[in-house]
Chain A
């Protein structure tokens, strides 16, 4: 087994971490306070990221992306993950599912999104279809060359930044041995298409400056050339391309945990109570030991899954374990870090209270912790069925 990083990987980490510290950290307090990112700031961050080749690093070089393998991408995600989520999102990694683009979709969506001329968002979730996403009610009915879309989606991230949505809608029902099953089709739908409107979503405890929206479709007509992948096979491309998103969630949690651990360690080494630094009390130092160990365990799981993906052999269970472990590790590390700081840990002078708030969504989106456990256990039990 080889655990060392290549000199390229080390240099990429250096570049991304300098970028995060110099271009993103200085704006964090403002974003946390106002829950808003100025358009001109976003544009300047985006341009700097494009100039440094940090934009769309997950996409192939052939289309203008960075062409990073999954492992190197995780190292980059880890560094970006340290910053406020909204700020780091400006350095976009477009949804991998766009690789399913074909024919004129490549020049209309894939390439401009990689160049930063267009931004994508992705809509599956509905008020009554969360983990059970196949139960979605939003439907697409064929009418000549057009699909007529009706229904609504909620919790759709950064729809305000997006130029189009990768939409999943039910396009029919098929009978299977396990009963009736909805067939799902994926579409590329431009903002401003008649019958498609975007409504402000909910205020979340996590990720200030990064918002979610409600999408409404009322007899919205979408041409059949806008189908992503094959009609009725939307979940095939989702399964093929969206597994990597879990690794990106995991990797970002590693970065944030590292930042929390560093703050807690420095505090424990300098804060004095009862005539000595609090790190000398075992009650505090053992917390640091556990935090560090959990972080490394999560990092190993994540990087191993990423390595497997680079070799084309990542299983659903690999990605689920990485996502589950890293997100739950961040819960523990951010909570213990606050405990080590005491009252100061809760104050917004330091990034800890934010890391603690932000971790909460990570255990819910991209598949809840329970759903990840379901995926892992199913891979164990299926051979016995």
Chain B
């Protein structure tokens, strides 16, 4: 069984996002980038399955400019077997539908039975790509999973989903797509020997144009605003009474 793990390069969630006044978009020049934290969790889960001998191969896929290769290398350094890089010449405004179509092509080509991906990327918070991909491929879908258990015959998985009313347990038949939530696992760090090995692992480059998919934007971003630094400041209170009086003063009760 092959596992595909689509991953995304995003602004490092521990850095402060700044909006470029001219472009009205988040300024990424010289910004520290990192793998989307939910994607790290997806990679970790795929590696665990591979280590339990239930998978034949783990394949990370990412779509973007040349820099995206760094993110794929991180996945390879964590232990993924090979990477597929879908190359765009410039920073394109790719939307979940475009991503879903590209990924569907790759999943079909690889005949992968399992796709593990983040429930959302922390930059745009779309939370759509997994769902769209499942629709396009007609694969079963488990979103927001916090537990993943492959059946002994390898034909289905039992997942726990974190939903508003609690934890829901479901059985999904393979082929399937799962989108992972925060509490599924603790992603490993890339070990030094694996970092050194990453460069010699296979990394295939595919030009985005070769997919023959209409990638013109369907959604337009009208404006992006910075969250005020003032509201960021938090305050610790000692008692419920103090919390009540603070909130009353702010007029939010």
Q: Is B192 in contact with A54, judged by CB distance below 8 angstroms?
A: yes
Q: Is A15 in contact with B189, judged by CB distance below 8 angstroms?
A: yes
How many whole Å from A33's CB to the nearest CB in chain B? 22
Q: Which of A14, A51, A68 contacts B190 (CB 8 A)?
A: A14
How many whole Å from B99's CB to the nearest CB in chain A? 23
Closest A residue by C-beta to B195: A11
Number of interface residues of A (CB under 8 A): 18
A270 within 8 A of B: yes
Q: Which of B73, B195, B233 contacts A15 (CB 8 A)?
A: B195
Q: Which of B34, B74, B191, B233 contacts A53 (CB 8 A)?
A: B191
CA A52 to CA B189, docked complex, whole Å? 8
Chain B contact residues, majority secondary structure: helix
CA A51 to CA B34, docked complex, whole Å? 23
A66 within 8 A of B: yes
Report chain A residues within 8 Å CB of B193: 53, 66
A11, A51, A53, A54 — most chain B CB neighbours (10 Å): A11
CA A14 to CA B195, docked complex, whole Å? 11
Q: Known contacts A7-B69, A7-B70, A52-B189; decide if A12 and B195 are in contact (CB<8 Å).
A: yes
CA A242 to CA B45, docked complex, whole Å? 44
CA A53 to CA B73, docked complex, whole Å? 18
Closest B residue by C-beta to A67: B196
A104 within 8 A of B: no
A117 within 8 A of B: no
B77 within 8 A of A: yes
Q: Is B189 in contact with A14, judged by CB distance below 8 angstroms?
A: yes
Chain A contact residues, majority secondary structure: helix
B61-74 CB mask vs A (1 if < 8 Å, else 0) is: 00000000110011
Q: Is B198 in contact with A8, judged by CB distance below 8 angstroms?
A: yes
Number of interface residues of B (CB under 8 A): 17
B201 within 8 A of A: no
CA A270 to CA B190, docked complex, whole Å? 35
CA A12 to CA B191, docked complex, whole Å? 8
Q: Is B191 in contact with A11, judged by CB distance below 8 angstroms?
A: no
CA A18 to CA B195, docked complex, whole Å? 15
B199 within 8 A of A: yes
A57 within 8 A of B: yes
How many whole Å from A105's CB to the nearest CB in chain B? 26
Q: Which of A19, A57, A66 contacts B189 (CB 8 A)?
A: A19
Report chain B residues within 8 Å CB of A67: 196
Q: Is B70 in contact with A15, judged by CB distance below 8 angstroms?
A: no
Closest A residue by C-beta to B186: A22
A29 within 8 A of B: no
A64-79 CB mask vs B (1 if < 8 Å, else 0) is: 0011100000000000
Instruction: Show 19 A/B contacts (Cβ-Cβ < 8 Å), sorted by A.
Output: A7-B70, A8-B195, A8-B196, A11-B74, A11-B190, A11-B195, A12-B192, A12-B195, A15-B191, A15-B192, A15-B195, A18-B189, A19-B189, A51-B191, A52-B192, A53-B191, A53-B192, A53-B193, A66-B193
Q: A8-B73, A11-B77, A53-B194 are in contact. List 18 more A-B contacts (CB 8 A).
A: A7-B70, A7-B73, A10-B70, A11-B73, A11-B74, A12-B192, A14-B189, A15-B190, A15-B191, A18-B189, A51-B191, A52-B189, A52-B191, A52-B192, A53-B192, A54-B192, A57-B192, A66-B192
